[in-house]
Amino acid sequence: MIVVTTPTGQIGSQVLSNLLDRVKSSGLSSATRQVSRPASGRALTSSRARTVTRPSWTRPFLAPMPSSG
Amino acid sequence: MDKAFSGADAVFWLTPPDPRAPSVEAAFVGFTRPAAEAFRKHGVGRVVAVSALGRSTPWASRAGYVTGSLAMDDLIASTGVAYRALTNPSFMDNTIRQVPSIKNQGVFFSPIAGDRKLPTVATRDIAAAAARLLLDPSWSGVGEVPSLGPEDLSFNDMAQIMSEVLGMQVRFQQNTFEAYKERFVSFGMSDAMAQGMTDMAWAKNEGLDNGVARTPENSTPTSFRQWTEEVLKPAVAS
C-alpha cells in the first residue's frame, strides 16, 4: 500500500496522477490489483497487490512550504 | 495518522502550510513528529518527502522554511525508515501567485536580486520523481534527490521569457525584505512564519540553492518557457 498525504494539493494530486499512469502503463491485469475506497477520496489502484490511497486526516493544502520563496 | 500508516509499504509526505504556526520548527518538525512515530511503529518501508535544497551550505541554519524542512528530514531519517528527501529549489508554479500583477501591471516581484541565477523546478517534475521512488522497492537508506529544472535562470531571464511567451512586456522588480515580510503579515501570517519566508528568500539570495552541482540526473525536463506556455499563459488569459 502506498499512502499519499496532501492528495488534493498541488504536488500531492500530481503524485497520485503519476502513480495511476504508471500502474496503467505497467500492463498488469486488474485481477492483480487491490482497490481501496477510503471515505474521503477516490479509489486508486496499484499493481503488485499494493493499494494507493489517501488518509482522511490530511489538512487542506494551499502551497508547498519548503520552496515557496 | 496512526491508522493511516498502518500497513503502508511507502508514504509520500508533504508538510502542509500552517501560516499561523508559532514557529517554523512547530510547522515542520512539530507537525511531522506524530508521522515519524507512526512510521517507526508500523514499520513503514519507504518514505518520500518534499524538502528543499540547502543542506551543507553556510546558510542552512538561517534559512527559515528551508531550515525547518531540513530538520524535518533529520527527524524522519532518525526513525530508521528508508528515506528520500526530494530537495527542491523554488517552484516555477509559485509564479502563479503573481498573475494579477503580471496581467495588470506587467511586473512581478521578489526580494532576490534580478540577476541572481537560480535553479527552478516545475511541480510536475517533483511529482514524477516522487512517483518513481514510491513505486520502486529497490532503494534503501537515507538520501537526497535534487530536482534542479533544466537550467539556472535569473528573475530577469524569467521576465524575458514571460514577455516572449505572453506577448506583452513583463519586467522584474526587486522589493525589500522588509516589504516582503510585511506583505505576509498583512495576509494574516504569524510573525514567525513571515520571518521564515523572509529568511528563506534571504538565504536563496545568498546562494542557498546553488550548492548542488548540476548533472544530467538532477536536471529535470520542464523548462520555464514550457511551463509559461502551458500553465502561466492560460492563467494570465483567464
* Residue A25 touches chain B, beta carbons under 8 Å: no
Least confident interval from A6-15, B56-65, B67-76 = A6-15
Apex CA B205: angle with CA B109 and CA B53, to 5°?
A: 110
Looking at per-residue confidence, does A24 or B91 come out higher?
Answer: B91
Position A59 in a domain:
no
In a domain, A34, yes or no: yes
Do residues B145 and B86 lie in contact, with contact meaning Cβ atoms separated by under 8 Å? yes
With a cut of 50, say whether residue A29 has pLDDT above it.
no
Confidence of residue B1 (pLDDT cuts 50, 70, 90): confident
> Is A11 a member of any domain?
yes
Instruction: Please answer yes or no on whether A68 and B204 come within 8 Å at the CB atom.
Output: no
Q: What is the pLDDT of residues B4-45, one digit of tens each?
A: 899 999 999 999 989 999 999 999 999 999 999 999 999 999
Tell me, what's the pLDDT at A52? 57
The candidate with the shortest Cα–Cα distance to A48, out of A23, A13, A68, is A23
Averaged pLDDT score across all residues of chain B? 97
Is A62 within a domain? no
Query: Which residues on chain B are in Cβ contact (under 8 Å) with A1?
Result: 7-10
pLDDT of residue A32: 36
If one counts the domains in chain A, the total is 1
Question: Residue A27's pLDDT is what?
Answer: 58
- Chain segment B100-120, per-residue pLDDT in tens: 999 999 999 999 999 999 999
Q: Could you tell me if B135 lies within 8 Å of chain A, comparing CB atoms?
A: yes
User: What residue spans define the domains of chain B?
Assistant: 10-237
Query: A38 to chain B, minimum CA–CA distance in Å?
Result: 10
Find the domain containing A38 and state its range.
Answer: 2-53
Domain-located, residue A17? yes
Please give the model's pTM, rounded to 2 decimal places: 0.87
The reply to whether residue A3 touches residue B4, judged by beta carbons under 8 angstroms, is: yes
Domain B10-237 architecture = 3-Layer(aba) Sandwich (3.40)
Residue of chain B minimizing CA distance to A63: B17
- Give pLDDT, residue A22: 86
Is the CB of residue B202 less than 8 Å from the CB of residue B116? no
CB contact under 8 A, A1 and B7: yes
User: Percent of chain B having pLDDT more than 90?
Assistant: 97
Query: Is the Cβ–Cβ distance between A65 and B17 less than 8 Å?
Result: yes
In this predicted model, what pLDDT tens digit does every residue of A34-62 receive, in sequence order?
333 333 333 333 333 345 555 444 433 33
Distance CA B123, CA B147 (A): 10
Q: Which of A23-27, A44-48, B124-128 has the lowest mean pLDDT?
A: A44-48
